[in-house]
């Protein structure tokens, strides 16, 4: 197993390099000058020239890229053009926020998606199944931003139960931290719950008609045991893959959700960075996200093996 | 039992003592996150709002846009307007406890001029020398007469920072700014909050009734208002005009608005690169026709719910600098058609570059259909702001919509956009006669003389129209009814002197 993990991590290096080249070139293709964008109303030509030089924007793109890469290899991700803060510091500040949001969203997604999926599979083609499908479909169809604003209006403005937006670190004030995160996590988890529910359902339907399930029923196991111990564990495999892939979707969804609920996380960081052409920040965030994505897939593969002992032989 | 009684008594006493000490915290919602908090380097409008609490300036601006004392108690211009002498307030302390004196003022101004990263260079370009002529007296010697300097000193260029802190932190001053305003810096989390607390040794501390201010950037106006209504905010800036009715009908909320000192405008490419070579850039009659085809009042009513005002000059109609001889034109489609015909056209195709925010898009779509009636076939090119600025600067546009937040001195709304060598003259309009008038307006300490020069310049500009002014938005603030004492100002700042919560 450690050799397998090591190999997978080695393969990740060229992947990350390709991603970084890709993002770097894409950014340079975007029209708009970062220094000018930053200057806004105060466009003093002399200062603009000085800053272009300072941030090496006058160098050829290739030189800029290798300069950036050299920095990254020595742990220097560059400096944000907008706030003068080191990019690494910004990332370390925002990453825990988005991870908290993602974990809580995943929790909601699983809490809603998996039980409903199982229920729909067991009660296949009954009213319960149809209702579950309708719920899933509407969860997928309701846009994040609309649901977010509606929840704010209902729960914060009308009922006054939760703060409308903002963020508090879980280490500083855990109660307030959870209060501010519940709504965004629910909004973000909601769409994923639908996907998760659909996949759990179809995996369960497949497993429930398998021969060994019929055997299990025939030998007199309770329906509860049949569903939870025999079927669910086997149906879990595709659900785990899906959850890992959904994590990427979660990061993308976080961009919008964080914007609505004003959560100072990764999503907000990258949106602001793109609008301000804050190249170093965009690069750093994308690289970090790619690493996270690769790690999530690796974790999914490892979980596979743990869930299905037969796969151990293939390592 | 005895212990219990003792404990209860202690708790009760604690509660009693704690009550009067309960601090007044004001949570203010801003539309953006401020950039670096160094007055020498910062650029954003919201940054200036934070500074009104954090950093005092040599002079301030009153709600009627007069220059009033702040750190400087009085000042004098020499007869030739080339020397400005200021008396500095006695007994003022910086947040780090050091004294604010003439030497600190000189150090700050020199830092603003010399720091390579400084954004204040062009604002202080006329300053040849600044020196301490006494422990509490400073003299500015200018390269050429420039009465606009005083207005520059009412903003970031005139915010005095602690020389000790500036020396220690250099270009990194923004990480822990030390100024002499009513509130001192506590902490900042990017894109989340900026926290300030009351400075006990503030020179004017009797006017400060708030103990702690937290600025929260919440870009979405709907969410910002939702926060105010749910009680998470006490105060917000830039309420959307469409939400004014909702706030007015809410018994818990108060609201204020005032026409701002900036403008909304269309810039025509007159001479900026090859794209200027088109009929609209060459023939002023087409630009006049375009201007005449717009119903400015309708734009105000439809897009801004009546909170804005139509305009045709760099100054709003309620400004003392507005040229009353040239009132905002009423829509006249027939005259516009005649002008187009006179210029030898039937239909005129124009590409108009606009920012991709919903309000600007709505407004320009209305303009598009208004001018279509006169004979302009406008195609709208919607781009996000960074691209728009870039294209406008490089001259890759025919007609471009961009706005100006406005400056206290009239010079700041016109000189740099219109003069041949103006720093942000993106139209590359160049008229020596206008240059002469605008330069002379800078050099006179007599407002009547200045007004005459601006009037003469606006008569020419109104005819040649390198910039087609559309109108002036209002600053709109909303706040909880428990917040009192706020005085709205056309510069859009939130001054906390006199503001109470309770």
| Of A79-88, A103-112, B359-368, minimum mean pLDDT range | A79-88
Q: Do B121 and A275 touch (CB under 8 A)?
A: no
Q: Do A84 and B174 touch (CB under 8 A)?
A: yes
Query: Can you give the pLDDT at residue A7?
Result: 83
Checking if the pLDDT of A215 tops 80, the result is yes
Query: A131-141, pLDDT tens digit by residue?
Result: 888 888 887 88
d(CA A265, CA A96): 8
Query: Can you give the pLDDT at residue A234?
Result: 76
**How far is the alpha carbon of A290 from chain B, nearest alpha carbon, in Å?**
23
Query: What is the band of A313 on the pLDDT scale with cuts at 50, 70, 90?
Result: low
Checking if the pLDDT of A253 tops 90, the result is no
Which ipTM did the prediction report? 0.75
Contacts of B112 (CB under 8 A, 6+ apart): B39, B40, B118, B120, B121, B123, B124, B157
Query: B241-274, pLDDT tens digit by residue?
Result: 989 999 999 999 999 999 999 999 999 999 999 9
Contact list, B41 vs chain A (CB under 8 Å): 84
Query: Can you give the pLDDT at residue B22?
Result: 58
Range of the domain at B399: 263-473
Where is the domain boundary, B165, B188, B205? B165
- Choose among B490, B451, B411: nearest CA to B122: B411
Query: Can you give the pLDDT at residue B18?
Result: 42
Q: Which of A50, A82, A165 sits opposite B223 (nearest CB)?
A: A165
Checking if the pLDDT of B1 tops 50, the result is no
* Best-predicted range by mean pLDDT (A29-38, A85-94, A297-306, B484-493): B484-493
Phi and psi at residue A14, to the nearest 5° = -60, -35
- Same structural domain, B156 and B273: no
Q: Can you give B28-88 as a three-state secondary structure string?
A: EEECCCCCCCCCCCCCCHHHHHHHHHHCCECEEECCCCCEEECCEEEEEECCCCCEEEEEE
Q: Show me where the domains of chain A are located.
A: 1-77, 88-313
Where is the domain boundary, B113, B131, B165? B165
d(CA B105, CA B137): 9
Query: B114-128, pLDDT tens digit by residue?
Result: 998 888 888 898 999
Q: Do B122 and A34 touch (CB under 8 A)?
A: no
DSSP codes joined into one string, B237-252? S---GGGHHHHHT-TT
Residue B306 lies in a domain: yes
Mean pLDDT of B59-72: 94
Q: Do B191 and A269 touch (CB under 8 A)?
A: yes
Nearest chain A residue to B230 by CA: give it. Answer: A157
Q: Which of A30, A47, A164 sits opposite B119 (nearest CB)?
A: A47
Query: Can you give the pLDDT at residue B166?
Result: 95
Q: Which of B118, B404, B423 sits opposite A45 (nearest CB)?
A: B423
CA dist A132 → A239, B320, B426 (Å)? 17, 67, 59
d(CA B23, CA B485): 18
Contact list, A153 vs chain B (CB under 8 Å): 226
Residue B309 lies in a domain: yes
- Is B428 buried (19+), middle (13-18) or exposed (0-12) by CB count in 10 A? middle
CA B233 to chain centre: 23
Number of domains in chain B: 2
Phi and psi at residue A55, to the nearest 5° = -95, 15
Structure-token pair, residue A220: 């007199």
Query: Can you give the pLDDT at residue B3?
Result: 52
Query: B286-296, pLDDT tens digit by residue?
Result: 999 999 999 99
Residue B46 lies in a domain: no
Q: Chains A and B: how many Cβ contacts under 8 Å?
A: 134
Where is the domain boundary, B112, B136, B165? B165
Structure-token pair, residue A3: 């050799």
CA dist A107 → A99, A235, A296, B156, B377 (Å)? 12, 19, 16, 48, 54
Contact list, B423 vs chain A (CB under 8 Å): 43-45
d(CA B338, CA B332): 10
Query: What is the band of A42 on the pLDDT scale with cuts at 50, 70, 90?
Result: low
Nearest chain A residue to B262 by CA: give it. Answer: A41
Residue B71 lies in a domain: yes
Structure-token pair, residue B73: 């108690």
Nearest chain A residue to B407 by CA: give it. Answer: A41
Phi and psi at residue B480, to the nearest 5° = -65, 150
Q: Do A42 and B386 touch (CB under 8 A)?
A: no
- Same structural domain, B275 and B126: no
Q: Do A160 and B230 touch (CB under 8 A)?
A: yes
What is the DSSP-derived secondary structure letter of residue A122?
H
Q: Return the CATH number of A88-313, one of 3.90.1150.10, 3.40.50.150, 1.10.260.40, 1.10.3720.10.
A: 1.10.3720.10
The strand ranges marked E within B269-414 are 309-310, 348-355, 376-383, 399-404
Q: Do B390 and A160 touch (CB under 8 A)?
A: no
Nearest chain A residue to B172 by CA: give it. Answer: A84
Query: Can you give the pLDDT at residue B17?
Result: 44
**How far is the alpha carbon of A256 from chain B, nearest alpha carbon, in Å?**
12
Q: Which of A34, A46, A164 sits opposite B230 (nearest CB)?
A: A164
Residue B443 lies in a domain: yes
Q: What is the CA radius of gyration of chain A?
A: 24
Query: Can you give the pLDDT at residue B457?
Result: 96
d(CA A149, CA B64): 39
Percentage above 90 pLDDT, chain B: 75
Q: Do A38 and B35 touch (CB under 8 A)?
A: yes
- Choose among B259, B192, B188, B257: nearest CA to B219: B192
Contacts of A159 (CB under 8 A, 6+ apart): none
Query: What is the band of A211 on the pLDDT scale with cuts at 50, 70, 90?
Result: confident
Contact list, A36 vs chain B (CB under 8 Å): 386, 389-390, 393
Query: Can you give the pLDDT at residue A305?
Result: 77
Q: Which of B36, B116, B229 sits opposite A157 (nearest CB)?
A: B229
Contact list, A164 vs chain B (CB under 8 Å): 223, 226-227, 229-230, 232
Q: Do A32 and B386 touch (CB under 8 A)?
A: yes
- Same structural domain, B149 and B279: no
Nearest chain B residue to A94 by CA: give it. Answer: B190
Residue B389 lies in a domain: yes
CATH number at residue B302: 3.10.105.10
Q: Which of A93, A164, A264 sits opposite B227 (nearest CB)?
A: A164
Contact list, A32 vs chain B (CB under 8 Å): 384, 386-387, 389-390
Query: Can you give the pLDDT at residue B238?
Result: 92
CATH number at residue B98: 3.90.76.10
Judge whether B450 and B415 are in contact, CB under 8 Å: no
Q: Do B192 and A167 touch (CB under 8 A)?
A: yes
Contact list, A86 vs chain B (CB under 8 Å): none
Residue B286 lies in a domain: yes
Query: Can you give the pLDDT at residue B358?
Result: 82
State whether residue B159 is helix, strand or coil. strand
Q: What is the per-residue burial (b if ≥16 Cβ within 10 Å, else e) of B79-107? A: eebbebbbbbbeebbbbeeeebbbbbbbb
Residue B256 lies in a domain: no
Mean pLDDT of A88-111: 88
């Amino acid at each position: 197993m450690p050799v397998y993990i090591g190999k997978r991590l080695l393969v990740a290096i060229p992947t990350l390099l390709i991603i970084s080249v890709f993002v770097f070139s894409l950014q340079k293709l975007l029209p708009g000058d970062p220094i000018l964008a930053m200057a806004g109303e105060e466009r003093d030509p002399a200062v603009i020239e000085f800053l272009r030089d300072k941030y090496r924007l006058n160098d050829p793109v290739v030189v800029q890229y290798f300069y950036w890469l050299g920095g990254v290899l020595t742990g220097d991700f560059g400096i944000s053009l907008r706030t003068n803060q080191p990019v690494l510091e910004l990332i370390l500040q925002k990453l825990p926020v988005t991870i908290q949001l993602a974990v809580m969203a995943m929790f909601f997604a699983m809490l809603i998606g998996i039980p409903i999926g199982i229920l729909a599979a067991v009660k296949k083609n009954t009213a319960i199944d149809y209702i579950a499908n309708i719920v899933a479909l509407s969860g997928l169809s309701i846009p994040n931003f609309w649901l977010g604003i509606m929840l704010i209006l209902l729960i914060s403005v009308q009922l006054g139960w939760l703060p409308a937006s903002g963020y508090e670190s879980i280490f500083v004030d855990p109660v307030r931290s959870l209060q501010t995160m519940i709504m965004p996590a629910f909004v973000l988890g909601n769409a994923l719950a639908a996907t998760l529910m659909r996949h759990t359902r179809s995996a369960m339907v497949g497993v429930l008609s398998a021969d060994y399930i019929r055997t299990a029923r025939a030998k007199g196991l309770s329906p509860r045991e049949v569903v939870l111990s025999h079927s669910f564990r086997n149906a879990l495999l595709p659900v785990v893959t899906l959850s890992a892939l959904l994590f990427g979707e979660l990061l993308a969804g976080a961009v919008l959700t964080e914007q609505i609920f004003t959560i100072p996380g990764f999503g907000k960081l990258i949106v602001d960075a793109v609008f301000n052409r804050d190249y170093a920040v965009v690069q750093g965030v994308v690289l970090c996200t790619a690493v996270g994505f690769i790690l999530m897939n690796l974790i999914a593969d490892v979980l596979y093996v743990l869930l299905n002992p037969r796969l151990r032989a293939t390592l | 039992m005895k212990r219990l009684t003792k404990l209860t008594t202690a708790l009760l006493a604690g509660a009693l003592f704690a009550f009067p000490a309960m601090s007044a915290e004001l949570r203010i919602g801003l539309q953006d996150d401020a950039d670096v908090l160094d007055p020498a380097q910062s650029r954003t409008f919201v940054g200036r709002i934070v500074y009104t609490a954090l950093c005092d300036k040599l002079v301030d601006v009153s709600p009627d846009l007069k220059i009033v004392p702040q750190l400087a108690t009085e000042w004098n211009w020499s007869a030739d307007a080339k020397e400005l002498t200021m008396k500095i307030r006695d007994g003022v302390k910086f947040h780090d406890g050091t004294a604010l004196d003439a030497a600190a003022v000189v150090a700050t101004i020199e830092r603003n001029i010399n720091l390579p990263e400084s954004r204040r260079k062009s604002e202080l370009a006329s300053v040849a020398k600044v020196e301490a002529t006494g422990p509490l007296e400073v003299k500015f010697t200018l390269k050429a007469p420039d009465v606009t300097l005083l207005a520059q000193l009412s903003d970031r260029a005139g915010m005095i920072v602690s020389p000790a802190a500036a020396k220690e932190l250099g270009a990194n001053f923004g990480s822990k700014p030390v100024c002499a305003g009513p509130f001192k810096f506590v902490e900042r989390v990017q894109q989340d909050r900026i926290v300030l607390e009351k400075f006990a040794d503030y020179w004017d501390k009797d006017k400060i009734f708030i103990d702690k201010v937290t600025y929260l950037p919440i870009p979405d106006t709907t969410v910002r208002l939702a926060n105010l209504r749910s009680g998470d905010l006490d105060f917000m800036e830039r309420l959307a005009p469409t939400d004014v009715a909702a706030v007015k009908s809410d018994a818990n909320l108060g609201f204020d608005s005032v026409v701002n000192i900036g403008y909304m405008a269309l810039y025509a490419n007159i001479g900026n690169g090859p794209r200027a070579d088109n009929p609209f850039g060459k023939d002023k009659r087409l630009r006049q026709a375009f201007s005449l085809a717009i119903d400015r009042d309708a734009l105000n009513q439809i897009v801004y719910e009546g909170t804005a005002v139509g305009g045709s000059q760099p100054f709003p109609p309620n400004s003392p600098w507005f040229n009353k001889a040239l009132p905002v034109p009423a829509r006249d489609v027939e005259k516009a058609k005649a002008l187009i015909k006179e210029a030898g056209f039937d239909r005129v195709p124009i590409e108009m570059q606009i920012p991709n925010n919903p309000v600007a898009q709505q407004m320009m779509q209305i303009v598009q259909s208004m001018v279509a009636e006169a004979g302009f076939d406008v195609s709208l090119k919607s781009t996000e702001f960074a691209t728009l600025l870039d294209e406008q600067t490089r001259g890759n546009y025919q007609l471009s919509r961009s706005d100006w937040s406005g400056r206290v001195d009239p010079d700041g709304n016109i000189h740099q956009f219109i003069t041949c060598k103006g720093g942000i003259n993106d139209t590359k309009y160049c008229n020596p006669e206008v240059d002469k008038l605008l330069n002379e307006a800078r050099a006179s300490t007599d407002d009547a003389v200045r007004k005459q020069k601006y009037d003469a310049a606006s008569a020419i500009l109104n005819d040649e129209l390198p910039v087609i002014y559309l109108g002036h938005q209002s600053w709109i603030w909303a706040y909880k009814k428990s917040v009192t004492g706020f005085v709205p100002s056309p510069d859009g700042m939130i001054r906390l002197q006199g503001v109470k919560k309770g």
